[in-house]
Structure 1
Amino acid sequence: MLIASADAALAKGSILHLYGPFREHGAHTAPSNATFDDRLRARKASWGIHNLEAAVTAGRAHQPHLAERVAMPANNLSLIFHKACRYAATGSEALP
């Protein structure tokens, strides 16, 4: 939902930066992330740590697309999504 909303809100050439813990292949990457996920879901069932693959799939269905994944401290990730723009034949001007 966030990525679909970003698709509508961001101008071409913009980025969306997501930071935090993600599950990978349905599994937590650290016991501390599993504990954090349990605490979030205890407060509200729709909260919690999301699957990395779901974010990437959402980016493929919309724009922006995942451009970079950076490992961060404390078992977190920075995901950099880029809403691509088309370039003129010269490569110097973005087209609408």
Structure 2
Amino acid sequence: MLGVPVRGMVVLGVLAAAGLMYVANGGEKLGAEGAGTGECRVTVVADILNVRSGPADTQPIVSTMRRDFVVAAERRVENGFRMLSEGRWAKEEFVVPTRDSDCS
């Protein structure tokens, strides 16, 4: 196939899959090394997430985040909003804890 041996295609496929997993994991190492770190990190599951200055829909929007963005968060949830780093707030239904997070 295009002059590339089958073994070379397998190696390229494995490297591509590893690269995609690395990107999907936010650039963090895969495996148990990061598990149980005690940190809370969340992934945005909305197409565009409005980040607010306080825990209410009436609070001003201070920034936005796109789907799959990973951000540090706090365990604090108030009025249906999760506190993010730097005192910002996001609607809890639009963020989910990462696999290795401790957000409870």
- TM (norm. structure 1) is 0.30
- TM (norm. structure 2) is 0.28
Greater fraction helix:
1
Higher relative contact order (CA 8 A, sep 6+): 1
